Structures are given as structure tokens and as C-alpha cells.
Amino acid sequence: QEVMDGLERWTPTGGTPQGAVLSPLLANIYLHPLDKLVTDAGMKMVRYADDFVILCENRTRAEDVLRLVREWTEGNGLTLHPDKTHLGDCSQSGQGFEFLGY
């Protein structure tokens, strides 16, 4: 599919433009199997498009689930953003996290 930009034609080589209406829908369709994988593993996950938080009862379980999610994403041509991927203990003071800007 060609796109007209001014008077020049170009062909996108991949992805959908960020902010496009279609992007979150495609993310939801593509990541639905990940939702199922995590919930079948007994974890609680909150996801908005491609941003998500997984709640676990202890660090060992969190490490196991992170490994599971990393294997799934890499096996499906995706990578976890290293600056956004971390384990934290919300029961400890100062260990909150930011999700969707909050």
C-alpha cells in the first residue's frame, strides 16, 4: 500500500503509525494470547494496548512470570522495553510504579 506524502509517494515498510486509531486495536488482538497465558498461570494482569502490569504474590513468582512473558514476546517477534521492565515490591515504602503516566 502506497502513501501519498505531499507530492512524493512512499511505501511503509512496517507497523502502523503511532497514535493511529488502528494501533490499539491491533495490539489488543495480537496480545490477547499473552493475556490468556498470564491469567492461565494464575496471575492478575492489567493491560492497556501494549503497556501492562502483572501482579504477583512474591518475587520468585514475579521472576517466573517475567521469564514466561519474555519467552512469549520474543517468540512472537516482540521485545520488552528495558527501561519499562522491572520487578518491584509495592509493600515496601517508595516501591510504587508509574503506569500510563500515573
Instruction: Going residue by residue through the chain, which has 102 residues, state the pLDDT in tens, using 9 for 90 and above.
Output: 445 556 666 566 666 667 778 888 888 999 999 999 999 999 999 998 888 899 888 889 999 999 999 999 999 999 999 988 988 888 888 777 777 877
Sequence-distant (≥ 6) Cβ neighbours of residue 7 within 8 angstroms: none
Alpha-helix runs per DSSP H in the chain: 22-40, 59-75
Q: Is 10 helix (H, G, I), strand (E, B) or coil?
A: strand
- Cα(39)–Cα(36) distance, integer angstroms: 5
Q: What is the pTM of this model?
A: 0.73
Strands 3-5 and 8-10: antiparallel
CA distances from 38 to 6, 17, 20, 22, 68 (A): 45, 28, 27, 24, 8
Domain ranges of the chain: 19-75
